[in-house]
Structure 1
Amino acid sequence: MYFFRKKDPNRPTNINIKIMHFINALAIAIFLAGIIYKLIQWLTK
């Protein structure tokens, strides 16, 4: 469960967390692209 909240100004921005979020988003994008590719392949055969 994700909770959306405002950025805490007291908390320092951690570069490792930023990298982790970027890799996570990239992985989700590649996963979705793969599913869409497979669906198109399956529908057009």
Structure 2
Amino acid sequence: MLNKLKEFFSIGPVFSYFFRIFQKDKDGKYPHSFNLKMMHGINKISILMFLVCLIIMVTRCATR
């Protein structure tokens, strides 16, 4: 039961996606389609916007 719970809350695949999305697919392991490319592009934009907003919030909190 505990092993299934650990597997359910595992965030390793999420972090691997965040790093994989900013790299080119060299070995052809993942499928290539227009819709998938657009989805990855939108995800890149949203990740970058999140990081910029996080930096702004931390600096505002630190300077108060």
TM-score, with length taken from structure 2: 0.55
Equivalent residue for 2:41? 22
- Structure 1: runs of 5 or more not aligned: none
**Aligned: 1:35 with 2:54:** yes
Report what 2:28 is aligned to: 7
**Distance in 1, Cα, partners of 2:56 & 2:28:** 36
Number of residue equivalences: 42
Query: RMSD over aligned Cα, in angstroms?
Result: 2.2
TM-score by length of 1: 0.74
Structure 2: stretches of 5+ with no match in the other structure: 1-12
Moved over 4 A (4+): none
